[in-house]
Structure 1
């Protein structure tokens, strides 16, 4: 089926010829030539026989190149809305799969059963591997690629004597977009375990957000001597020393907490970058991209942050904006702006083995309020993801010793961060950890709500579920299931489960029947 390694130079030359002529798509004859140069054996032009399939590569915003295979043609279109999840076809992130793995997933579909052994498994594997190689080379994540395959589709096609016969197909491509500078994610460690903390926005005369944050940090046991308040014309507040400005600091801060009005944040971010005042910055204010009026300013701020990441030391990392903050038990601090008397105190456990990452601060508050026994070692609110992302945090906790379970509430992923996230999930699972995800914005109404809440584009839930499950994560469709799985995964992490023997006892008949169901 697959004759050799794809002739990538030949394919690139073919695409270059077309784009030089102002075209970004291939006619059928050129598509046929591309497939032949890819090493696929093609049948002659004739009427197809057998099951009609569809095989597609798609450049997605969240996950980069995705490969999908399933029923095609009129049958696929007719049954698309009638089949249950996973029956019509399967999808996978091209960077996280291979031909054998995709075949095993494909075997669970009606499309595979309809082939009824008419095509050898090796033929299917070779075909999938060829498409995956194309996807991985012509991908937005490959800095060396001259083109990105926006979409390569055969629909419908079938197999004739172990060769591909296709009546219809398409290929569109484009030049790759500039790749953002990598975030210095190693600075997350200093953010979560700071040896020094600075705060701006603390009032000396009233209880504002900044003052509440200061009191919570002190109440957590963090030493006052390692905190600095940025406030001109003050010497100290609540026993904590004040400094005139960032430029006047005697040493670089590990963590700088920003609790000022949103319209002052943009200039302050420039000041932080220019003065090299902090390794990590927490942006508490909202209004940094959630509203139409602030989106242009927020985009410009994000560009300046990214430009700073190109500096030799990577510049500071930023958490937020629109961010509740962090509770880090190992770092002995709490920057949530919720007074201690408004939330129940968690169990004072000696050992905590879980981390909770949430785009919404309120999600974390309600989890802890309703389920105080969860009590993770780290609770991190990401807000708008103006810089640090879900993928950054999951990859960090995947590597962190002592963390066995990672819970995530996500409303949307930054461009290509879904793939970064899925890689972190796989890394965590391979290290024996569990990752539990609740993805918000599954409906149209929910997707619209995420844009106003944390300036997030919700994305395709079915695709996310397929990719994250493929990586080894658990995707929940309601809050109660998230609570249960997050708690159970941590409790059972070191337990050995053998067989399927399970007993359940209840004092009520209806509960016994429900448990049996």
Structure 2
């Protein structure tokens, strides 16, 4: 059996019943955290083989000699035990002392007084945060409170590590995140863990993954990328291996099992772990020795009722629409929405306005109120002030008069004043889930609306003179979901070639969430690409979302994702290191990348990737060996400059001998051989004409050593016919040559047209042929590389 097979057959020995008993005893004592000696007992129950022996020396009384002579060796470790002191080293709460009763006893006495004094001083000088239980205390009252919380000093067997060199300690931690559920992190351990994460490149100090979607073996594969792994297996000068791969996989597998059992996603769990961290594991004679541990837990919370998400189909493809908030006297938001719905082609006979003062507006029939409806609406669009929304939704729920509701109004949860109103709305929606119909689904509030071309309607309230309507032809099989309506609108304005089937502004996620729409579009037959702009997820909705991304990818779809509101690693640390290392954005990016999404790093890159995915979805991506050429040296150099970043790693393809020979002959035939040296990337000189460009593309695409081609079409060169002036020269030039290549290409081809607005028609013509076109080489390389990396990762997962 080879090493990989051995790793796959590793068995863990987690005793979840015993783990529950440990947490139960702490809960009965009125605590939601474990003391360090209890954390060691927890580690023993999950199968850790080398937990150090320890005994608690209580604060009070006097420890006897027998109690102080339990452990072998010349030294012992002594640690303060308190529910509020997490980072013990900073307050003098950790000592290694001689293993004799007198020394241990005197250290015990000294720590009981010196630790609260130092902790008080550091809090008062604001060098350490003040726990909630000490808020408002100063001086002696603060000291007394700290001292009163100290349970005693933990006496621990000293197990000297094989090496104290940099990188030979490991942190492993679980953390329950609000959005994505239980996460596992592992990497460089010790007191400088956050420092390592700050200054090392991404995924080199620490790696993070959701426990529900990964195995111990797969997490180990991520961990192998880290500096920590390189140090632990002795790949650096003067180092030797101090742990086996099997030990690491067993550790990760056990932590994943514990994380999933005590996750908030497990409805059978008696307790939920908020954070469980071992920092560090040290290594003694091929034994993983935990030197510190913390664990916070809670009781399960009430489960929120499930939404009837099947009604999203009624929202996106309504047979009937009603609108509240249409003015008969002025062009308000409701009036703009009405006109946009009609212009999009929705059947006027299936459109109603709820307006008591008029018989009709813009030829559309009005009814006085919702009670006048003869049958329930598929979609009710609400464009009134936010103060009217709770009462209106109460009526919708009571009468069951609409299957879906679109809330346009802002001011529901965005301000302090409106939060109570928003909370009442949520409670009413949750209560409606008990109705036989499950109640209506609500999109918004603060939504800019929905454009559904398959549903033949447009509820955006933007006037056409500010944002032109999408082209009827060339519709892309894209669903564009955005938490910000303004972001979606500005992308459509700046990138008019984007032409999605659906544009959904979800607003505040009062009811329907990002995860709900990802689940829906992951199985939609008419969608190949899903683009998502997110600012935040509802509780555990990130987990729903990433699971749906995984399913979408399995179905052959591409998911392009951008997350706003990023936070630096380490910013949110309040207790354990794991919380800071797996910060909000780090967790989000890790989950979405591992699920198979293409994660954009900038706002413009999001649109680049969305267009790229629309053009390349379904095109075979054989590998990451890229060939590039241009008639400008700066583009050739730029391609090489951007081939590697922290987020991807592409390769410059090595041309086959046949390709080198064929290209050399082509250059000679066009009198360019004295100006061009054949290598990758290739600078073919401004003298190359249109046919040479197209022939180079064909030759490179036919090389089995090349997986994708980036072609820089410098439009300002005299030899290139790049002005779309309708002339015969243009129609028979580069446009013609590139068009003839389209059906013969079996690999990704990305074009770059770096020029001014005069070349916009040229770009539009190339895009109409189905080619991804970028306006700069750096954007082209980065977008293609991110996309290719994601596609290759998808293929690896699907081949398992």
TM-score range with shorter-chain normalisation? over 0.9
Aligned partners of 1:345 and 1:372 also within 8 Å: no
Does residue 132 of structure 2 align to residue 15 of structure 1? no
Choose which of 379, 391, 396 in structure 1 pairs with 2:515: 391
Count of matched residue pairs: 504
- Aligned residue number for residue 201 of structure 2: 84
Give the SS at the match of 2:610: helix
What is the CA-CA distance between 1:509 and the residue it aligns to?
4.0
- Aligned residue number for residue 428 of structure 2: 304
Aligned partners of 1:3 and 1:39 also within 8 Å: no
Does residue 305 of structure 2 align to residue 181 of structure 1? yes
- Aligned residue number for residue 482 of structure 2: 358
What is the CA-CA distance between 1:510 and the residue it aligns to?
3.0
Give the TM-score taking structure 1 as reference length: 0.93
Does residue 489 of structure 2 align to residue 481 of structure 1? no
Gap runs ≥5 in structure 2: 1-6, 53-156, 234-240, 572-582, 642-800
Cα distance in structure 1, aligned partners of 2:450 and 2:312: 12
Aligned partners of 1:3 and 1:40 also within 8 Å: no
Cα distance in structure 2, aligned partners of 1:460 and 1:500: 30
- Aligned residue number for residue 455 of structure 2: 331
Does residue 330 of structure 2 align to residue 206 of structure 1? yes
Aligned partners of 1:357 and 1:407 also within 8 Å: yes
Give the SS at the match of 1:342: coil
Does residue 360 of structure 2 align to residue 236 of structure 1? yes
Cα distance in structure 1, aligned partners of 2:432 and 2:161: 56
Cα distance in structure 2, aligned partners of 1:501 and 1:436: 22
Choose which of 94, 113, 116 in structure 1 pairs with 2:211: 94
Q: How does 1:459-498 map to 2 (within 5 A)?
A: 460-498=584-622
The one-character-per-residue Cα deviations of 1:168-196 (angstroms, maximum 9, x if unpaired) are 11111110111111111111111000011
The one-character-per-residue Cα deviations of 1:322-355 (angstroms, maximum 9, x if unpaired) are 1100000100100000123332232323653111
Name the structure, 1 or 2, with higher relative contact order (CA <8 Å, separation 6+): 1
What is the CA-CA distance between 1:4 and the residue it aligns to?
4.6
- Aligned residue number for residue 165 of structure 1: 289
Query: Which deviates more from structure 2 when the two are superposed, residues 138-147 or residues 335-344?
Result: 335-344
Cα distance in structure 2, aligned partners of 1:3 and 1:361: 49
Q: How does 1:87-166 map to 2 (within 5 A)?
A: 87-116=204-233, 117-166=241-290
Cα distance in structure 2, aligned partners of 1:34 and 1:313: 46
The one-character-per-residue Cα deviations of 1:400-443 (angstroms, maximum 9, x if unpaired) are 11211111111111111111111111111111111111111125
- Aligned residue number for residue 453 of structure 1: none
Does residue 419 of structure 2 align to residue 295 of structure 1? yes
Give the SS at the match of 2:315: helix
Cα distance in structure 1, aligned partners of 2:36 and 2:30: 17
Give the TM-score taking structure 2 as reference length: 0.61
Gap runs ≥5 in structure 1: 448-458
Q: Could you say which structure has the larger radius of gyration?
A: 2
Does residue 167 of structure 2 align to residue 54 of structure 1? no
Does residue 316 of structure 2 align to residue 192 of structure 1? yes
Cα distance in structure 1, aligned partners of 2:567 and 2:212: 27
* CA RMSD of superposed structures (Å): 2.0
Give the SS at the match of 1:322: coil
Give the 3 Å change call, closer, same or farther, for CA 501–57 of structure 1 in structure 2: closer
Cα distance in structure 2, aligned partners of 1:503 and 1:83: 30
Cα distance in structure 2, aligned partners of 1:85 and 1:473: 17
Cα distance in structure 2, aligned partners of 1:77 and 1:260: 49
Query: Which deviates more from structure 2 when the two are superposed, residues 44-53 or residues 411-420?
Result: 44-53
Does residue 372 of structure 2 align to residue 248 of structure 1? yes
